[in-house]
Structure 1
Amino acid sequence: MPAPILHLGAVITCMHAGPAQPLTPFPRVMVSGQPVVTLSTPYAVTGCALTGTGAPPCATAQWVTGAVRVMAGGAPVIIQTSQAVCTPTGTGLLPLVAQTRVLAT
């Protein structure tokens, strides 16, 4: 099923509401004037609210699924339905807001 492609300006948080930002978006492909994010792009998570539980908060995240049919630089682009894993908690990322003009499967 088609879903919006994620880009540098997409609003993404960890499961504990900590903002997540891509560290190295793919600059050669743009959507809505901003670089896309590929499966190889690591994310930095700041302000994870998982505190006071004895478990460390989310620090980084890596996408594990991406688009099947759309690539950028040989790597699958990330779409709004993609799955990610945060380190060290093992939870995921929540894509909240993404551009809506370009869809991928």
Structure 2
Amino acid sequence: MSGNLLGAGAVISCPHGGRATAANTAASAVLMDGMSVATAAHGYVVTGCPHTVGGVPAPCVSVRWTADGTGVTVGGASVLLDTSAAQCFTAAFVPQGPPVVQAAQRKVTVR
């Protein structure tokens, strides 16, 4: 599978426009734009999702990623690509659709 590496600071949103950010960003020896490369070990939270179902708020609150089988790991966890499979969920774990990843050119450095 091909794709671009995601950094912990990647611009990601839920399908309804809420902002997804990395909840835990442990230091890594592999950096992109000065931030850790995102891995399957990172948790993502969503804020500002306006989604409603039948007039009842049902916002996305988290993103769960499925690591690709690239074999590339950082600290034992598979790296995330902009093509990695993911799903946004409500607080009740109802799937809401895949997140939207904004494409960007990144500079990767290894310490």
| Residue type at the aligned position of 1:6 | L
**Identity rate of aligned residues, in percent?**
34
Distance 1:61 1:9, change over 3 A: same
Q: Distance in 1 between matches of 2:31 and 2:12?
A: 18
Q: What's 1:3 paired with? A: 3
> 1:92 and 2:94 equivalent?
no
Question: Is this contact kept in 2: 1:4–1:101, CA < 8 A?
Answer: no
What is the number of equivalent residue pairs in this alignment? Answer: 102
Q: Does the C-alpha gap of structure 1 residues 99 and 22 become closer, same or farther in structure 2, counting only changes over 3 Å?
A: farther
Report which of the two structures shows the higher radius of gyration computed on alpha carbons: 2
* RMSD between superposed Cα atoms in Å: 1.9
Cα distance in 2, alignment partners of residues 70 and 92 from structure 1:
22
Report the equivalent of 2:13: 13
Looking at both structures, which has the greater relative contact order when contacts are Cα pairs under 8 Å and sequence separation is at least 6? 1
Q: Structure 1 residue runs of 4+, over 6 Å off?
A: none
| Residue in structure 2 matched with residue 66 of structure 1 by the alignment | 68
TM-score normalised according to structure 1 size: 0.82
* One-letter amino acid of the structure 1 residue matched with residue 71 of structure 2: R
Q: Aligned equivalents of 2:70 and 2:103: distance in 1?
A: 21
Q: TM-score, normalised by structure 2?
A: 0.79
Q: Alpha-carbon deviation of 1:9?
A: 2.0
